[in-house]
Amino acid sequence: MTCDLNLSGEQRQIIDAAAAMLRTEYPVDRRRRWVADDLAAAAAFGMFGLGLPEGDGGAGFSLVEEALVHVLSGRHLVSSGSLATALGARLARAAGHAELADRLVAGEAFVCAGVPAGDSVLLMERGEAAFALVFDNRDFELREVGAALASEESALGHGASVERIPRVSKGVIARSAEPRMLAIADLLVSAQLLGVAEAVRDLAVAYAQVRQQFGQPIGGFQAIKHHCANMAIGAEMLSCQLDMAAIALRDGREDGAFQVAALRRLAPHVALANARLSIQVHGGVGFSAEAAVHHYLKQAHLLSRLGSAADILDLPAPLAPLVRVQERN
Amino acid sequence: MTCDLNLSGEQRQIIDAAAAMLRTEYPVDRRRRWVADDLAAAAAFGMFGLGLPEGDGGAGFSLVEEALVHVLSGRHLVSSGSLATALGARLARAAGHAELADRLVAGEAFVCAGVPAGDSVLLMERGEAAFALVFDNRDFELREVGAALASEESALGHGASVERIPRVSKGVIARSAEPRMLAIADLLVSAQLLGVAEAVRDLAVAYAQVRQQFGQPIGGFQAIKHHCANMAIGAEMLSCQLDMAAIALRDGREDGAFQVAALRRLAPHVALANARLSIQVHGGVGFSAEAAVHHYLKQAHLLSRLGSAADILDLPAPLAPLVRVQERN
Amino acid sequence: MQLSLSPEDQTFRTTAREWLAANVPRRRAPNDGRPARDFALAWLARCNAGGWSGISWPDEFGGRGLSQERLIVWYEEYVRARAPSVLDCTFVALNHAGPTLIACGSDEQKGFHLPRILAGESIWCQGFSEPGSGSDLASLATTGRVEGDHLVVNGQKIWTSFADIADYQELLIRTEAGSKRHHGLSWVICDMKSAGITVRPIENMAGAVHFAEVFYDNVRIPLSEVVGDLHDGWRVAMNTLAFERKTAAIGLQLELSVKVEDLIDLAAPPRGSAIAERLATLRAEAAALRAMTYRTLLREPETPSDGSLVRLCFAELAQRVNRTAMDILGADALLENAWTHDYLESYSETIAGGTAEIQRNIIAERVLGLPRVKTQ
Amino acid sequence: MQLSLSPEDQTFRTTAREWLAANVPRRRAPNDGRPARDFALAWLARCNAGGWSGISWPDEFGGRGLSQERLIVWYEEYVRARAPSVLDCTFVALNHAGPTLIACGSDEQKGFHLPRILAGESIWCQGFSEPGSGSDLASLATTGRVEGDHLVVNGQKIWTSFADIADYQELLIRTEAGSKRHHGLSWVICDMKSAGITVRPIENMAGAVHFAEVFYDNVRIPLSEVVGDLHDGWRVAMNTLAFERKTAAIGLQLELSVKVEDLIDLAAPPRGSAIAERLATLRAEAAALRAMTYRTLLREPETPSDGSLVRLCFAELAQRVNRTAMDILGADALLENAWTHDYLESYSETIAGGTAEIQRNIIAERVLGLPRVKTQ
């Protein structure tokens, strides 16, 4: 069968392995006492070279597997540095900085994500990162960043920290506006947003099964059921579109840019809507800092600032996307 | 008490009288076999002179009472000619055509509503009208229209007819872009849309109380309850804003234009949303031509084309609208 | 995960595209009645002549037996070519009745009906819903009493699509007296010309007659017309529903992408405008719906109810698309045209075949595992 | 129907406006803890000194006894002046506890507490919700056992606002052993310094501590602290809730109009843009909310639950306004600032004091008359 959207055995294996690593190294509970994620365990797992050829120190998987692993990262609220490091390694290699790329893949250095804000750049959850990947709409900039200096602010009043540095470009290592690179960034950002959307759905369903009100689990009430169903629909849409976009990009299909733009447009919307519904299903507990669900909401806001959807109206719509493609690897 | 939003005894009286007249002369059932409304009964009741001074053949009520009566007209799906005739009488008088104004008030002639569509004007539910009031965004034109000639089309596939005449202005009697006239039009259009929003809410509630599924009235299911609650909220918002806008216009308050713009922006949205929810609550019956609810949906689309909201962002927002006003009348 | 066509599949696409270009009728299908019947049967006969009838039916029953890939390719081309909507009066025969007969029918039943369906010679309608059981199929009350080698049917069905122009009906009735809920039902082929049948057409809010009430007054149906075993109709019916929800919806779902493109062309919205934003979101959602359609066909579902997600997603997206069209049309939204007709028809999407509320219950209970509550 | 001020009311407006301009604190109120307490008490003391404390309380109890018109005028001026949110830690005292004491308290209770509340000398918190009874108040289980002239209280409350900084608590407990639902409850004044009380603050998702769990371990409260009759607490409590829902919400509801104006200033959206459309709709909705607020005060309700419409409308509009702010802020949405803080806080609007789902049930059942179903 040339068309098959089941996970292959190999895909199942890498997903299971990633899930096991994340459960051990990045349990969601860690967010209760916030320290920026140490991404060494993710690097040791090979997360930052997943999609690179084996010759480049990568694991030789494709963008599809890489995206699926980032979905799991999103479920575990792994810091956005995981995206920035994976993308930074690609950018460094493309710009001829093979050594830096190798160090990033190997977990010897890390990249944090940055977004412009007026005259500043906001670095997110910087942790030990010595580099920053600044997502400037249709443009990337990989910069060296000095020792932590500037004001740390608390992103959205809780959890992840934000550090403000001047916008003026210093220590630039590489820059890119290459469409494929932008598309990969949008794919991986969206994958993490899907992870958020799925995680909050599952949290809500689990809570609705145990929380009792008026003598029954609240999951028995139709309003709660429908909130959960809405979360499921959103996550399913996004998940299906992620497969489409990842496959199209992997295979170099003509409709890759369109599929990614569609995905990236929906992802923040679905992740935020699901987080909102999940908080509502959780009631008072969901509004407290103790439940995990608000961290997902904030992560969704944060991820939504990264990458940028091409305007989908600028791209031709593929009305017959199934085509013959060359085998890639 | 100088602030009081209760209906006065006099207001109750005119509303009760209008309701009784509408029940007798314009029962909603008449829509099953569509013929354009004969507005003679409405005229005999005084609907087209309600807001005019007694010296002008009017009943000497204010815009508030007039708006409340148009809410009831909306509930009874009285044709849009009722709006056009009430406004046409005002326009004729303002332009010095006192005799025509008197005839319109007296029910000796009628005006239908028209909207531009490309090179044409679409006359709605023309019936016996010899005149048309063309609502052209921020502009009115009162025209004589000849004998019915052109193609009759069926508005939205059912019910009210639409007649197409050339746009070129012939037989123009009066024209106006006077802000107060526009505001009165928006007020009365919105009043009828509120009537639609209330009527479909009531139809849905009544149906949900009797229709049984799974061994109980469907109104016992939370999803149906919440649809009905949403309709109630929409109608309540609109009804309160109608009072505000009608009072502000009546009293010549500075915030009149703002209040009307807010009302006119919300009215189509609420009426259409309520009609949609009501159809959904009715299930298969709601989708059939036999239930009344689809007529309300179509009436909402039709009314939404009339008048035009001033861009509310262009108007200063009244943060302290309660003021001292001069007594009028 | 692969979405790649073989060279043979590519050739298949070209063949399909060319055939459709040459054969798709230019005029829009009539909305209802005899003209709709004639149009649909003529189109199906033409498809059949070209080898395009029963595309998903197995070869052995006269179908084309297309693989999932080719089914998708066919529908991609079908909707691109603006071919007539698959949801016409041949839909029940091709997508409910035929597949049910294939799965559960006797050789005689199959031998008689399947060729007629494929050739565009018979219209079928569905007789499931009843006045008291719209969303609650298990509560149906129309009875079939066994008398010798006949069933004698009494009762009433409602929301029967195309009953006024149908030749046969797939009829679900209670054949075991006193049975409750899913038990004691039978799935029967009913000849619509039988004595004792009265059809009362129901006009819908779009002014079209698709639905009807059907009354049964001592209608005699030979026992040989029972499909599957007597009293085993629920199992037979569930078979049909599953089929409908998986395969037959592809055409409808993919059609929505085309409709969004037409809407973007119609609106030509300035960038950054509110309407451009709405259209951009609709375009993305239509893409995601397409992705869901593919996955429904090309991945093993995790639960048997997974298909309910795409079904509801489609229904509500179709309504949003049609509502947006109304906003774009301006004054033309008041006239009878293809957009307004489709807009009005779209209100049935969240009602017919299980309301959106019931669909959400199913998703919550069967996909997500939330508790079922008796009263709901 | 009249909305017109008398010359005296106009003068009142001018007086209020001038006083507020001269007295409203420039800095934003701290979010929580001792600084929030100090800030709120200082502001209330200042209001009291100016004659603006207990504006809706009757004269005879030290309030200003404003008419409905003047109450509206006061709040219009209050929110225009960007005065501190009325929903601070003095809210319960001024809007729940005080009015309840006025309605049901003994002379001693009134004489002691009312002046302290008005003068900004005591903070009250509410002890109604329990872990098992968030939306279902009648199921509460914290007990008060009569021992001589004391109640001995054991149990737990949750979602108690400002328990960590409060002096007194309005405590609803089950005093009749074995009583069910609404029966056998008492409404008691609890001194938060009593032995046996443990307060565990709960941080909310905005990083602020408003809520707490409160544990009662043989807390002894004199019977003289019961408000109204022993075992008659439900009636007393309903009194409070009704008051809250009608009067105290004016300030919050009118504040939303100001917030929308600030947002329009912040965004300065190009006309026709998607964001301009959203803001225009929000502006219209805020106007309608204001109109609902006025009508709630100035018209006899048709049903006692009419107020639930404006309450839910407010809650959801507040959330939409705050979500729009996040979209407008761009990257600044990631920082801690007044907008993001309010955004996060706004999630409680559809949860605290009865979830949106419960509110819709109430509207459906009590306003529209749809059937109550036991399991819901």
Tens digit of pLDDT for each residue in A77-125?
999 999 999 999 999 999 999 999 999 999 999 999 999 998 999 999 8
Residue C153: closest CA among C169, C167, C142: C142
Q: Which of A64, A232, A266 sits opposite C363 (nearest CB)?
A: A232
A280/D159 touch (CB, cutoff 8 Å), yes or no: no
pLDDT at A325 over 90: no
The whole-angstrom distance between D280's CA and the closest CA on chain C is 12
- Band (A215; pLDDT cuts 50, 70, 90): confident
pLDDT at C376: 41
Between C272, C373, C374, which is nearest D273 by CB? C272
- Cβ of B226 within 8 Å of Cβ of A221? The answer is no
* A240–C271 CB contact, under 8 Å: no
What is the band of D376 on the pLDDT scale with cuts at 50, 70, 90?
very low
AA letter at A320? A
Alpha-carbon distance of A164 to A124, in angstroms, equals 9
Q: Is residue A219 part of a domain?
A: yes
Residue in B3, B11, B266 nearest the CB of D69: B3
* Torsion angle (degrees, nearest 10) of CA D29, D30, D33, D39: -40
Report pLDDT for B1: 59
Query: Which pLDDT band, with edges at 50, 70 and 90, does D135 fall under?
Result: low
Q: Of D159, D191, D186, nearest to D172 (Cα)?
A: D186
Number of helices (H), then strands (E), in chain D: 12, 9
Domain extents for chain D?
7-118, 124-232, 249-366
Note the pTM of the prediction, 2 decimals.
Answer: 0.95
Report residue C114's pLDDT band, with 50, 70 and 90 as the boundaries. Answer: very high
Task: Give D335 to chain A, closest Cα distance, Å.
Answer: 5
User: How many domains does the structure of chain A reveal?
Assistant: 1
Enclosing H/E stretch for A125: none
C-alpha–C-alpha distance, residues C244 and C302, integer Å? 18
CB contact under 8 Å between C361 and A217, yes or no, is no
Q: DSSP per residue over C150-211, as a string?
A: EEEEEEEE-S-TTGGG-SEEEEEEE-STT--TTTTEEEEEEETTSTTEEEEEEEBTTS-EEE
D7-118 classified as CATH 3.40.1670.10: no
Structure confidence at residue B136 as a pLDDT band (50, 70, 90): confident
**Separation of first and last alpha carbons in chain D:** 39
Q: Per the CB < 8 Å rule, is C344 touching B221?
A: no
Measure in Å the smallest separation between the Cα of C374 and chain D Cα atoms: 10
Residue A291 within a domain: yes
pLDDT digits (tens, 9 = 90+) for B85-135: 999 999 999 999 999 999 999 999 999 999 999 899 999 988 889 999 999
Q: Determine the residue type at C148.
A: G
Chain B contact for A226, CB < 8 A? yes
Instruction: Please check whether residue D203 is in contact with residue A288, taking contact to mean a CB–CB distance below 8 angstroms.
Output: yes
D375 near C373, Cβ under 8 Å? yes
Q: List all residues 6 or more positions away from C171 whose beta carbon is below 8 Å from its beta carbon.
A: C127, C142, C153, C157, C187, C188, C189, C190, C221
Given this model, what pLDDT does residue A154 score?
A: 72
The chain-wide mean pLDDT, for chain C, equals 92
What is the C-alpha to C-alpha distance for residues B184 and B179, in angstroms, rounded to an integer? 9
User: Is residue B33 in a domain?
Assistant: no
pLDDT band at B329 (very low <50, low <70, confident <90, very high): very low
Q: What is the pLDDT of residues A30-83, one digit of tens each?
A: 987 767 889 999 999 999 988 888 877 777 899 999 999 999 999 999 999 999
CA distance to partner chain B, nearest, from residue A216 (Å)? 15
State the amino acid at position C334 in one-letter form: L
- The pLDDT value recorded for residue B275 is 98
| DSSP letter assigned to residue D28 | P
Of D69, D76, D77, D244, catalytic? D244
Which residues on C lie below 8 Å from D280 (Cβ)?
Answer: none
In angstroms, the first-to-last Cα distance of chain A is: 18
Report the distance separating Cα C226 and Cα C230, nearest Å: 7
Contact D280 B311 (CB under 8 A): yes
In a domain, A134, yes or no: no
Chain D CB contacts of C274 below 8 Å: 272-274, 276-277
The answer to whether residue C24 neighbours chain D at the CB level (below 8 Å) is no
Domain of B278, in residue numbers: 179-314
CATH T-level fold of C124-232: Butyryl-CoA Dehydrogenase, subunit A; domain 2 (2.40.110)
Q: Six-digit token pair at A181?
A: 């690179």
Write out the DSSP string of D76-107.
Answer: HHHHHTTPPPSSSTTHHIIIIIHHHHHHH--H
- pLDDT of the residue at A310: 67
CA distances, D20 to each of D8, D93, D252 (Å): 18, 22, 17
Distance from CA of A302 to the nearest CA of C (A): 21
A317 interfaces chain B, CB cutoff of 8 Å: no
| Average pLDDT of the segment spanning D319-343 | 94
Per-residue pLDDT averaged across B31-36, rounded? 76
Closest CA to D24 of D47, D5, D48, D7: D47
- Interface residue B222 vs chain A (CB under 8 A): yes
Instruction: Output the CA torsion sign for C238, C241, C245, C250.
Output: positive
Report percent pLDDT > 70 for chain D.
Answer: 96
The dihedrals phi and psi of C337, each to the nearest 5 degrees, come to: -150, 180
- CA dihedral for C286, C290, C295, C297, sign (positive or negative): positive
Cβ <8 Å between A5 and C298: yes
The answer to whether the beta carbons of residues D89 and D35 sit under 8 Å apart is: no
B158 pLDDT more than 50: yes
Q: Do D334 and A287 touch (CB under 8 A)?
A: no
Q: Does the beta carbon of B212 lie under 8 angstroms from any beta carbon of chain C? A: yes
Q: Do C364 and A6 touch (CB under 8 A)?
A: no
Helix locations, C268-376, DSSP H? 274-298, 307-329, 338-345, 356-362
Q: D205: closest CA among A158, C190, B234?
A: A158
Which chains touch C (3+ CB pairs under 8 A)?
A, B, D
What pLDDT, on a 0 to 100 scale, did the predictor assign at position A329? 43
Query: Is A89 among the domain residues?
Result: no
B156 to chain D nearest CA, in Å? 27
CATH number at residue A296: 1.20.140.10
Residues of B in contact with A222 (CB under 8 A): 221-223
Q: Which among A20-24, C251-255, D251-255 has the top mean pLDDT?
A: A20-24
Which of the other chains make 3 or more beta carbon contacts under 8 angstroms with chain D? A, B, C
DSSP B212-258: EETTEEGGGSHHHHHHHHHHHHHHHHHHHHHHHHHHHHHTT-TTHHH
Topology match between the domains C7-118 and C124-232: no
Report the alpha-carbon distance of residue C73 to residue C52 in Å, rounded.
13
Q: Report d(CA C247, CA C35) in Å as an integer.
A: 27
The rounded mean pLDDT for chain D is 92
pLDDT tens digit string along C262-299? 999 999 999 889 999 999 999 999 999 999 999 999 99
Strands B140-144, B131-135: pairing kind? antiparallel
**pLDDT tens readout for residues D16-70:** 999 999 999 999 999 999 999 999 999 999 999 999 999 989 999 999 999 989 9
DSSP D217: E
A306 within some domain: yes
Summary mean pLDDT of chain A: 91
D122/D94 Cα distance (integer angstroms): 10
Asked if C284 lies within 8 A of A266 by C-beta distance, the reply is yes
* Coil/strand/helix, residue B277: helix
The pLDDT of residue D157 is above 70:
yes
Residue of chain A whose alpha carbon sits nearest to that of B226: A223
Q: Does A34 touch chain B (CB under 8 A)?
A: no
* B52 vs B267: which has the higher pLDDT: B267
Residues 226-285 of B with CB under 8 A from D: 226, 228-230, 232-233, 236-238, 240-241, 243-244, 246-248, 251, 258-259, 261-263, 265-266, 269
Smallest Cα–Cα separation from B165: which of B129, B132, B127? Answer: B132
Distance separating alpha carbons of residues A94 and D98, to the nearest angstrom = 70
- Inter-chain contact D276–C272, Cβ cutoff 8 Å? no
Q: pLDDT band at D345, cuts 50/70/90?
A: very high
Q: List own/partner pairs for B212-219 with CB under 8 A and 24 or more apart.
A: B212/C132, B213/C133, B213/C134, B213/C135, B213/C136, B214/C135, B214/C136, B214/C139, B214/C375, B214/C376, B215/C375, B216/C375, B216/D371, B216/D373, B217/D370, B217/D371, B218/B281, B218/B283, B219/D364, B219/D370, B219/D371
Instruction: Identify the residue among A203, A276, A287 best suited for mutation to test binding to D, counting D beta carbons within 10 A and taking the highest.
Output: A287
DSSP bridge partners of B117: B120
Q: Which residue is listed with tokens 């098959």? A: A4
- The H or E element containing residue A217 is strand A216-217
Q: What integer pLDDT is reported at residue A241 of this predicted model?
A: 98
Residue pair D169/D163 in contact by the 8 Å Cβ criterion: yes
Q: Cα distance from C274 to chain D (closest Cα, Å)?
A: 4
Reading the block at residue B225, the tokens are 């309850």
Q: Which of B:141-200 have CB within 8 Å of D?
A: none
- Give catalytic residue positions of C: 244
Please judge whether B3 and D3 are an interchain contact, meaning their C-beta atoms are less than 8 angstroms apart: yes
| Residues C13 and C5: beta-carbon distance below 8 Å | yes
Q: CA B163, CA D325: separation in Å to the nearest integer?
A: 46
Does A323 sit within 8 Å of C373, measured CB to CB?
no
CB C127 within 8 A of CB C171: yes
Q: What is the CATH number of domain D249-366?
A: 1.20.140.10
Q: Which residues contact C22 (CB under 8 A, 6 or more apart)?
A: none
| Beta bridge partner(s), residue D67 | none
Please report residues of C whose CB lies closer than 8 A to that of A263. 284, 288
